[in-house]
Amino acid sequence: SKNLIEVEHIKKYFPIHKGLLNRVVGNVKAVDDVSISIREGETFGLVGESGCGKSTLGRVILRLQSATGGAVKFNGRDIHSMNSRELNKIREEMQIIFQDPFGSLNPRFLVKDIIGEPLKVHTKQSAQEIDKRVVELMELVGLDATRRNRYPHEFSGGQRQRIGIARAIALNPKFIVADEAVSALDVSVQSQVINLLMKLQKEMGLTFLFIAHGLNVVRHISDRVGVMYLGKMAEVGETEALYASPLHPYTAALLSAIPEPTPNRKKKRIVLQGDVPSPANPPSGCRFHPRCPFAQAKCSQVEPLLEEILPGRQVACHFPLGVEGGSDLASIGR
Ligand code: SF4
Ligand code: MG
């Protein structure tokens, strides 16, 4: 199917100010030249450690933040060059679900007003019509609509996340960014919410950018997965292929850290050295090189570009795993 979203060379830099004159002394390169496409009707899982730029990328894609450079095309039109009228129109098609449903739901608003707010802002529906739609939406996300005159704190964490989802789908959007939407929930509640999102996707033809910390969370819901490291896209691939044979050493390290229900003695744990470096001062060459167990001399000198090296598999690494002339898992200990 066609691409709904095309992210082209997006950069988002945050200036670092210093001293009495508040001079700009550098930039935090939160997102540094990222290009991805998201197909209509798919879920693109976006994964990486805190500070890798995944939330920033999600916000720039929705133009909740401006871009330092690059373009984000929605149905072929760059949303970063739209005027406010065009943008307001397209906002109805793009929504976001946040991590903390408590923090993102106004505690002084009744649930019916929270869910109905986008309808009030973007449509000319009467109070009665909005109430009818709120009931419909609550039922669609598995909430008891007779509780719509209550406040968010009267609902559990999972139910609050459903309130956030009901609000996000109120205007029949095409595209939803779920930013750590299930990260604060218990594992069992996580899978309920993920199943709800998958059901809604099917019924409404939604396209998702599903952002999470860990690869285990995105596996079930994602058609394709992108792994970010320090503002760069390290690897993109079809979910099953990427999990079965990661090409980027960082992806392999993230996968090897997922605990398995039945311990596999053959599975090799890749232990990363040190912490994620500061995006204000990223390492030269491959940003992952100080922590990569497979790094070679070239890695600290030449930046690897994201390239399609197998059909549907993109990787930014000079020595990808498991390919001719690449890195070999057997070469590291344990
Ligand atoms: Fe490791 Fe080099 Fe590949 Fe970077 S380019 S991930 S340092 S092997
Ligand atoms: Mg985040």
Q: Record the tokens describing residue 258, joined without a space.
A: 């997922």
How many angstroms is it from 288 CA to the middle of ligand 1? Answer: 6
Q: What is the pLDDT of residue 102?
A: 62
For residue 289, give the ligand 1 atom closest to its CA.
7
| Rounded CA separation 196/139 (Å) | 12
Q: What's the CA gap between 317 and 216, in Å, rounded?
A: 23
Whole-angstrom Cα distance, residue 94 to residue 208? 10
Task: Give the ligand with the smallest distance to the CA of 96.
Answer: 2
CATH superfamily, domain at 3-93+173-331: P-loop containing nucleotide triphosphate hydrolases (3.40.50.300)
Which residues have their alpha-adjacent CB atom under 5 A from ion ligand 2? Answer: 55
Residue whose Cα lies nearest atom 5 of ligand 1: it is 317
Residue 22: pLDDT band with limits 50, 70, 90: confident
- Of 81-95, 207-221, 250-264, 295-309, the one with minimum mean pLDDT is 250-264
Atom of ligand 1 nearest to the CA of 248: 6
Q: Which-ligand-closest: CA of 305?
A: 1
Instruction: Say what the ipTM of the complex is.
Output: 0.95
Q: 54 C-alpha to center of ligand 2: Å?
A: 7
Give nearest CA residue, ligand 1 atom 3.
317
Please tell me which residue, 14 or 184, carries the higher pLDDT value. Answer: 14
Cα of 293 vs centre of ligand 1, distance in Å, is 8
Closest-lying ligand to the alpha carbon of 49?
A: 2
Ligand nearest to the CA of 253: 1
Ligand in nearest proximity to the CA of 184: 2
Angle at 297 between CA 254 and CA 227, to 5 degrees: 25
Mutate to test the pocket of ligand 1, among 306, 314, 318 (most ligand atoms within 8 A of CB): 318
Bridge partners of residue 235, in order along the sequence? 227, 315
Sheet containing 77-78, strands listed edge to edge, beginning at the edge strand earlier in sequence: 23-39, 3-18, 69-74, 77-78
In this structure, the residues whose C-beta lies within 6 A of any atom of ligand 1 are 248-249, 286, 288-289, 292, 294-295, 299, 304, 317-319, 327
- Ligand 2 centroid from CA 179, angstroms: 7
**DSSP strands (E only) in the chain:** 3-18, 23-39, 43-47, 69-74, 77-78, 94-97, 175-179, 207-212, 224-229, 232-238, 307-310, 313-315
Q: Residue 1 CB: number of other CB atoms within 10 A?
A: 8
pLDDT for the residue numbered 275: 84
Comparison of pLDDT for 21 and 263, the residue scoring more: 21
| Domain ranges across the chain | 3-93+173-331
**CB proximity list for 28: less than 8 A, separation 6 or greater:** 13, 14, 15, 16, 278, 279, 280
Residue 80 Cα, ligand 2 centroid: separation in angstroms? 22
* Residue among 299, 301, 303, 307 whose CB has most ligand 1 atoms within 8 A, to mutate: 299
What's the pTM value of the predicted model, to 2 decimals?
Answer: 0.94
Give the residue among 75, 101, 222 at the shortest CA–CA distance from 167: 101
CA of 43 to the centre of ligand 1 (A): 27
Note the pLDDT of residue 267: 66
Q: Which of 49-53, 278-282, 304-308 has the highest average model confidence (pLDDT)?
A: 304-308
Q: Which residues are bridge partners to 238 per DSSP?
A: 224
Ligand 1 atom at shortest distance from the alpha carbon of 299: 2
Atom of ligand 1 nearest to the CA of 296: 2
* % pLDDT > 70, the chain: 96
Specify the higher pLDDT residue, 291 or 271. 291
pLDDT for residue 73: 98
